[in-house]
Structures are given as structure tokens and as C-alpha cells.
């Protein structure tokens, strides 16, 4: 039963009050036509809960922007939305078209800084893989009553392949329920090729200002956390406090081995107590056993990355060394689930903190 504007409504009550359900929730499709945004496509999702987000079918159905009651939940880079035809795979040129947004999905066979894999015929691996520039096929969107809930769903499939090599296909569905400020993502990756293939999937989510601000807090229950340069263990006081923008660029990356609750789910939160606003992540540890955290507190590119993955963001060699590099046999598949939601007010923030144990 949807809860809107401080009260619960039945399906019939809502249908009595609106002409069309798009008055309170809907997905509107369009095209982006200016400059390098051409080809990205657009699916604008609105929910009377206050949540609104933009999905780009031309960019792997990633989320390029998201707001809650007018406040941005994510960082958007100066590139803006960029269509897939403008992809530059050499070295770090992935960043020339990286809007980051609420979600940029990295993979499917590589995540990390550019490297060459000597165990795969010296394959050159570009920054964070190719997935985020692959346009989706069989794209759909719909809104329908499912019992007492009105649910918006959108989806499609992306195939990463090469003629004489791997062929992995991701099928994605994204959903949100009327009255909830929550996005749920369900991905399935299948190896359609004739040979085994590495599988590296990372959900590069990117909170930004005003949620991300000096004094904000990261909530994470980690059994072990290491930093990226020396692979040494660090304590919580190093990575839980958010600093303001700095004059000099400095990156910090931490790899968490998070604890799960009794159901096997990991919960992570970013809380801005001054605004009474938070963003949370929930995902099965069995599917996404590592949490990567990126801090880039620089003027003009003030962003943090909360990045659940089946691997670390430190490349194929690092994951092979640490035993976290997965491989899919021909015909084999993996499923991934990620939930992101808004925490509005002290009550919801407190309840979430208590749920973490």
C-alpha cells in the first residue's frame, strides 16, 4: 500500500484521485540531442515519494542523475551525459565520457586501472572495462499494479563480446515502488561464449554534494579494511569521516571485507546529519563480497565512490593474487542484486544504524 504525503492510500483511493498514474509515478522516454550526449537516450523515472532519477539506455542502463525532493544524491562530472559513440578505450580515456552519476557499472571482464594481462595473451585492459559504454538492447519500461503496490520497471540487456574471444551478456532490471524512495537493481550475467571468461562486476555509485559534505559519516561494518597503495590494514577512523574539498587532488581507495546480517545482506550508509539525509546500500555478501570505497575530495571534482563488487577496483592482477577473480564457464551465469535508498530524517537514519548491529 503506497504511503504518500504522510498517509497510506489504497489502490482504489489513488485511482479516484488521479487521472493517470503518471501523475504520481512514471517512466518517460526521450532522446538527448545536444553535442556528445547524442545516442545516450533517456528514461526519466519519477516517484511521488520525492525520488527522481535518469537512466541512459545507450549507456548500459546506468543512472546518470538522481535527486530527492530537489536535492542531488550524486556527483555529475563536467562531461555531462555522453553517448556510446564517443567512447575512447585507450588508457584512462574512459574518463572523457564518464558522467559517474548515481551508478556507473564497471566490467564485465575487467575493473581497475589500465593493465595488460599476461595470462590472457597480453590482453590490454582499459580503465574499468567496456560495459558502461555498451547500449542496451530489448529495452522496456512499464508501470503496473502488483497487488497493493504500484511498481515501475525498466530493463534491457548488454552484450560484451569479441569475435575470437569472450561473450558475456548482462540482463538488467531496475525497479522502484510508488511511495518508496528506493531503487532495486537485479542483474544476471551469462557466458554465451565457448570458453571460460573472467567475470569482474563493480557498481560504481557516486554520492555527491549536498549529501556528501564535510562532517558526513560513512556507516560500514567491516571485518577487515585495507588501503590501496600498500595493501595494509587501516582502522575505521581513517575512512568513516568525510572532509571538505581540498586544493590539491588526492585519492584514497579502501577495500572492505564487510560483515553481513543474519540474512546474508551487507548494509552501508552515508549520512549527513546536518541535512537529516542519508543514502543506503544493501546487497547480498555472497554475490558482492567486497566493498570498494573511493575518496576524491578535490575542488570541482568532489565525490566519493561506494562500490560493491564481486572483485576489488584494483585490477585483474590484484584480484587474481588475492583469490577474488571469478571465472564463468560456458553457459554459466551469476546474479547480482543491489538496493539503494534514501534515509529521510533522524528516525529513518537511527533505524538504519540500529539495523547494522
User: What gap in Å lies between CA 106 and CA 201, rounded to an integer?
Assistant: 6
At residue 122, the pLDDT reads 87
Three-class SS state of 97: helix
Give the number of other Cβ atoms within 10 Å of residue 162's Cβ. 11
Closest listed residue to residue 212, CA positions, set 299, 279, 114: 279
Mean pLDDT of 172-192: 99
Per-position b or e across 314-350, b if 16+ CB within 10 A of its CB: bbbbbbeeeebbbebeeeeebebebbbbbbbeeebbe
Closest listed residue to residue 290, CA positions, set 312, 269, 265, 274: 312
Question: Which residue matches cell numbers 549527513?
Answer: 272
At residue 118, the pLDDT reads 87
At residue 329, the pLDDT reads 99
At residue 230, the pLDDT reads 86
Closest listed residue to residue 170, CA positions, set 134, 119, 143, 120: 134
Closest listed residue to residue 47, CA positions, set 153, 146, 147, 205: 153
Question: What does the pLDDT look like over 241-296, one tens digit per residue?
Answer: 999 999 987 899 999 999 999 999 999 999 999 999 999 999 999 999 999 999 99
Closest listed residue to residue 189, CA positions, set 204, 210, 203: 203
Closest listed residue to residue 349, CA positions, set 293, 296, 271, 257: 271
Tell me the percentage of the chain whose pLDDT exceeds 70. 100
Question: What does the pLDDT look like over 101-145, one tens digit per residue?
Answer: 999 999 999 999 999 998 888 889 999 999 999 999 999 999 999
Question: What does the pLDDT look like over 279-288, one tens digit per residue?
Answer: 999 999 999 9
At residue 357, the pLDDT reads 74
User: What gap in Å lies between CA 136 and CA 158, rounded to an integer?
Assistant: 5
Mean pLDDT (the chain, rounded): 97
Topology given in CATH for the domain delimited by 3-355 = Beta-galactosidase; Chain A, domain 5 (2.70.98)
Is residue 103 within a helix (H) or strand (E), and if so which, with residue range? strand 103-106
Amino acid at each position: 500500500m503506497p504511503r504518500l504525503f504522510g498517509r497510506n492510500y489504497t489502490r482504489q483511493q489513488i485511482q479516484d484521485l488521479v487521472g493517470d498514474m503518471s501523475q504520481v509515478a512514471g517512466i518517460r522516454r526521450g532522446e538527448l540531442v545536444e553535442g556528445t550526449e547524442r545516442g545516450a537516450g533517456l528514461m526519466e523515472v519519477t516517484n511521488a515519494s520525492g525520488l527522481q532519477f535518469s537512466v541512459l539506455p545507450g549507456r548500459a542502463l546506468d543512472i546518470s542523475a538522481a535527486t530527492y525532493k530537489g536535492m542531488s544524491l550524486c556527483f555529475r562530472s563536467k562531461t555531462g551525459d555522453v553517448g556510446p559513440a564517443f567512447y575512447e578505450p585507450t588508457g584512462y580515456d574512459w574518463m572523457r565520457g564518464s558522467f559517474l552519476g548515481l551508478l556507473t557499472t564497471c566490467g564485465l571482464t575487467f575493473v581497475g586501472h589500465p593493465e595488460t594481462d599476461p595470462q590472457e595473451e597480453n590482453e590490454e585492459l582499459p580503465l574499468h572495462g567496456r560495459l558502461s559504454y555498451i547500449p542496451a538492447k530489448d529495452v522496456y519500461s512499464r508501470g503496473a499494479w502488483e497487488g497493493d503496490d504500484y511498481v515501475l520497471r525498466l530493463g534491457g540487456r548488454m552484450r560484451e563480446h569479441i569475435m575470437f574471444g569472450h561473450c558475456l551478456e548482462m540482463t538488467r532490471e531496475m525497479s522502484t515502488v510508488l511511495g518508496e524512495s528506493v531503487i532495486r537493481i537485479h542483474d544476471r550475467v551469462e557466458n554465451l561464449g565457448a570458453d571460460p571468461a573472467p567475470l569482474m562486476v563493480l557498481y560504481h555509485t557516486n554520492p555527491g554534494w549536498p549529501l556528501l559534505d564535510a562532517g558526513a559519516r560513512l556507516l560500514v561494518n567491516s571485518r577487515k579494511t585495507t588501503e590501496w597503495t600498500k595493501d595494509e590494514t587501516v582502522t575505521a577512523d581513517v575512512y568513516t569521516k568525510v572532509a571538505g574539498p581540498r586544493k590539491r587532488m588526492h585519492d584514497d581507495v579502501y577495500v572492505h571485507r564487510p560483515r553481513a546480517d543474519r540474512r546474508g545482506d551487507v548494509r552501508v550508509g552515508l549520512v549527513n546529519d546536518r541535512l537529516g539525509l542519508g543514502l543506503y546500500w544493501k546487497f547480498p555478501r555472497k554475490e558482492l563480497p567486497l566493498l570498494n570505497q573511493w575518496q576524491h575530495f578535490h575542488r570541482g571534482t568532489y565525490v566519493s565512490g561506494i562500490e560493491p563488487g564481486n572483485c576489488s577496483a584494483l585490477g585483474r592482477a590484484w584480484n587474481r593474487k588475492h583469490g577474488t577473480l571469478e571465472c564463468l564457464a560456458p553457459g554459466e551465469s551469476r546474479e547480482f542484486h543491489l538496493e539503494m535508498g534514501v534515509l529521510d530524517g533522524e528516525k529513518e537514519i537511527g533505524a538504519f544504524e540500529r539495523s547494522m548491529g
